[in-house]
Chains A and B, each alone.
Chain A
Amino acid sequence: MSENKVLTGGGLLFEVLQEHGVQHVFGYPGGAIMPIYDALYDSDVQHFLCRHEQGAAFSAVGYARAAGKVGVCLATSGPGATNLITGLADALADSIPVVAITGQVPTAAMGSDAFQEIDIFGLSLACTKHSFQVTDINDLEKVLHQAFEIALEGRHGPVLVDIPKDVQLAEVTERLDKLSHLKNKVKLPLADISKALDLLTHAKQPILYVGGGVGMANAIEEVRNFAEQTGMPSVSTLKGLGAINPDNENYLGMLGMHGTKTANLAVQNSDLLVVVGARFDDRVTGKLDEFAPNARVIHFDIDTAEINKRRAADAAILGDLKGNLPLLSMELSISAWQEELQQMQKDFGWRYDHPGENIFAPAVLKTVSDLMPDNTCVTTDVGQHQMWAAQHMSFDDPSNFLTSGGMGTMGFGLPAAIGAQISRPHDTVIAVSGDGSIMMNVQELATIKRYQVPVKIVLIDNAKLGMVRQWQDLFFDGRLSETDLADNPDFVMLSQAFDIKSQTISKKSQVKAAVEEMLDHDGPYLLRVQIDAKENVWPLVPPNTANDKMMENV
């Protein structure tokens, strides 16, 4: 910045972003955020113009999740701000550190139903971890620092900072000489270590139940060591996938509604659950009263409010998993239990010997998983393809599998992949999407085109809102209400309109070559995989049913 140019609120924003190591932001301009975009013009922060604010929010989420940093998105007031909300809700549900900056009408106009005025501060209450509205330029710097601190403190989450236009334009006269940190609240001294050790020593059929908190606590190594040293069989939630090394012989896969048969039966028969960074989500537990009915519970979490929320803990250990879990490490004599479960895994393993010429989606995703380079980051949309990806692809780190877990938001996959690719330019990024989901943020193909983001898209095309169709078939007498997408656009032609190389495959014999071509291609690529509309995701625990009463494709 030139010497004689005064620092404005907008300029200050980018200085603070850079102090927090932010190099990339995702956004969309408009009237009430123009001073910030004017300051961007002079800034070294790189901005990616998304084609919808929801795309910007999800790219920030993907960026944060793939890189383990805070993702930042910008939007103007009114409709720009409201378009961020789904992304913020998604980040809240999955505890993702995101800072969203919204422009607001000038302070003097606030509360007058001004053009493009919406009370985004009020709207933010239910979909952010915290939010600020800055009405005085002298508060701006402190608030921005706090926003980053809050996003990353304890359980991560999204923070919104709403900045009226006059504050963006105002001259900054004083800078903070030191950062004032948040007063850390005194945490409950809940750490029933000796109770937990006692439970562990007496357990004959323990299970390690691994959630998304493990990756966020940076405790993958500790959890893997614990699994090795105890030999405890482990299961993972959707968001925990990758935390346990998939080659661990006592790892049983995902539990819950579409979990593996072995994982669900093991949990149901366990006498102790060691829960790390997980929260007994209803998609995990099935019918809560019948979930792991004979198990005692040791619950590790950073969030006090998760302890005893859905399942009472016999021993609760609050705080940093990284430091706490090793306190429990010990050798266990559970070989009978291990062997029983290993045998079940052999008996109930996945099968890919699907009859006929048509493509079997699980097999395609298995092929992609086998052929993709190390450290590939996979994102998904929401539906059957998401569950197939979770079941049939292998990940060695949770930051390599980005999926909308808590919110289950269609439209997540494509913009999240863009954000992931920008944060990790040297890694392969693959978005596994569905023909329904991709249309929810299809405009982001233009972002791919503009920045030549080399994302690979595997579009599992069943010409249906497949997951809803599956439920209609199973639970609503086959009354297929509004789930047919036979009139989808020509996805190959659509891709080509955005300079994205593309082809369709529909036969098993084409799969390997097509996946190789996609992975070898330098730029963005969309592989449309036509599958049979009638395929279902198995196993399935019907809603509000115990996890051992799963439906299977037999």
Chain B
Amino acid sequence: MSTANLNKYQLIIMADDKQVVLERILQVTRYRGFLINGMNAEVNTGNNVATITMTVSSERPISLLIDQINKLIDIKGVRVDNSAVNNKQQTA
């Protein structure tokens, strides 16, 4: 896939701290047609919530990916941290 004219987005994902949650996010992201440009994951050991920041790019609207990630059972919330892009407001 050519990476020219792709839109870039930064996602912030809050998830339950489960080992498998990263795999699920990676799988959904790839399957739905988004390239991962960078990723960082940290766990707050106090409340066992993982925060994952991920930069992705695609020709597809980011709302498609947000809706699919949000559907994962272990996900608490997803939002786009990129004021430059048009997207559906998502909070959970």
Residues of A within 8 A of B31 (CB): 126
Stretch at the interface among A109-117, A289-297, A302-310: A302-310
- Looking at chain B's contact residues, the main secondary structure is helix
Knowing A125-B27, A130-B73, the reply to whether A305 touches B67 (Cβ < 8 A) is yes
Q: From residue A246, how far is it (CB to closest CB) to chain B in Å?
A: 34
A185 to B71, CA, bound (A): 9
A186 interface contact, C-beta 8 A: yes
B55 interface contact, C-beta 8 A: no
Residues of B within 8 A of A133 (CB): 20
Residues of A within 8 A of B72 (CB): 130
A306 to B76, CA, bound (A): 19
Residues of A within 8 A of B20 (CB): 121, 125, 131, 133
Q: From residue A167, how far is it (CB to closest CB) to chain B in Å?
A: 16
Residues of B within 8 A of A131 (CB): 20
Residues of B within 8 A of A121 (CB): 20
Q: From residue A382, how far is it (CB to closest CB) to chain B in Å?
A: 23
The A-contacting residues of B in range 38-76, CB under 8 angstroms, are 63-64, 67-68, 70-73, 76
**B23 engages A125 (CB within 8 Å):** yes
From A126, A185, A303, A308, B63 is in contact (CB under 8 Å) with A308
**A304 engages B70 (CB within 8 Å):** yes
B4 interface contact, C-beta 8 A: no
A130 to B90, CA, bound (A): 22
Which residue of B is nearest A305, CB measured?
B67
B92 interface contact, C-beta 8 A: yes
A91 to B68, CA, bound (A): 18
**A305 engages B27 (CB within 8 Å):** no
**A126 engages B27 (CB within 8 Å):** yes
**A185 engages B64 (CB within 8 Å):** no
- Contact string against B for A residues 114-129, beta-carbon threshold 8 Å, 1 for contact and 0 otherwise: 0000000110011001
A199 to B73, CA, bound (A): 35
B2 interface contact, C-beta 8 A: no
Q: From residue A131, how far is it (CB to closest CB) to chain B in Å?
A: 8
The B-contacting residues of A in range 129-145, CB under 8 angstroms, are 129-131, 133
Q: From residue A147, how far is it (CB to closest CB) to chain B in Å?
A: 11
B91 interface contact, C-beta 8 A: yes
A303 to B23, CA, bound (A): 22
Q: From residue B3, how far is it (CB to closest CB) to chain A in Å?
A: 24
A220 interface contact, C-beta 8 A: no
A131 to B72, CA, bound (A): 11
**B23 engages A305 (CB within 8 Å):** no
A232 interface contact, C-beta 8 A: no
A305 to B27, CA, bound (A): 16
**A304 engages B27 (CB within 8 Å):** no
Knowing A121-B20, A125-B23, the reply to whether A304 touches B71 (Cβ < 8 A) is yes
From A150, A185, A307, B70 is in contact (CB under 8 Å) with A185
A232 to B1, CA, bound (A): 45
Q: From residue A302, how far is it (CB to closest CB) to chain B in Å?
A: 11
Which residue of A is nearest B19, CB measured?
A133
A89 to B78, CA, bound (A): 26
Residues of A within 8 A of B67 (CB): 304-305, 307, 309
**A303 engages B71 (CB within 8 Å):** yes
Q: From residue B62, how far is it (CB to closest CB) to chain A in Å?
A: 12
Q: From residue B11, how far is it (CB to closest CB) to chain A in Å?
A: 15
Q: From residue B28, how far is it (CB to closest CB) to chain A in Å?
A: 9
Which residue of A is nearest B71, CB measured?
A305
From A126, A150, A305, B73 is in contact (CB under 8 Å) with A150
Which residue of B is nearest A125, CB measured?
B27
Q: From residue A330, how far is it (CB to closest CB) to chain B in Å?
A: 29
Knowing A185-B92, A186-B91, A308-B63, the reply to whether A125 touches B71 (Cβ < 8 A) is no
Q: From residue B61, how far is it (CB to closest CB) to chain A in Å?
A: 8
Which residue of B is nearest A309, CB measured?
B64
Q: Among the interface residues A130, A131, A186, A305, which one has the most CB atoms of the partner chain B within 10 A?
A: A305
**B70 engages A122 (CB within 8 Å):** no
A188 to B72, CA, bound (A): 15
**B23 engages A122 (CB within 8 Å):** yes
- Contact string against A for B residues 1-36, beta-carbon threshold 8 Å, 1 for contact and 0 otherwise: 000000000000000000010011001000100000
Residues of A within 8 A of B68 (CB): 305
Residues of B within 8 A of A308 (CB): 63-64
A328 to B56, CA, bound (A): 39
A129 to B71, CA, bound (A): 9
A185 to B76, CA, bound (A): 7
A122 to B70, CA, bound (A): 20
Residues of A within 8 A of B92 (CB): 185-186
Residues of B within 8 A of A185 (CB): 70, 76, 92
Q: Among the interface residues A121, A131, A186, A309, which one has the most CB atoms of the partner chain B within 10 A?
A: A309
What are 11 A-B contacts defined by CB distance under 8 Å? A125-B20, A150-B73, A185-B92, A186-B91, A186-B92, A188-B90, A304-B67, A304-B71, A307-B67, A308-B63, A309-B64
Shortest 3 CB-CB distances between A and B: which pairs?
A305-B67, A130-B73, A125-B27
**Which residues of B line the A interface, CB within 8 A?**
20, 23-24, 27, 31, 63-64, 67-68, 70-73, 76, 90-92
Given A125-B20, A126-B27, 14 extra CB contacts under 8 A: A125-B23, A125-B27, A129-B73, A130-B73, A131-B20, A188-B90, A304-B67, A304-B71, A305-B68, A305-B70, A305-B71, A307-B67, A308-B63, A308-B64
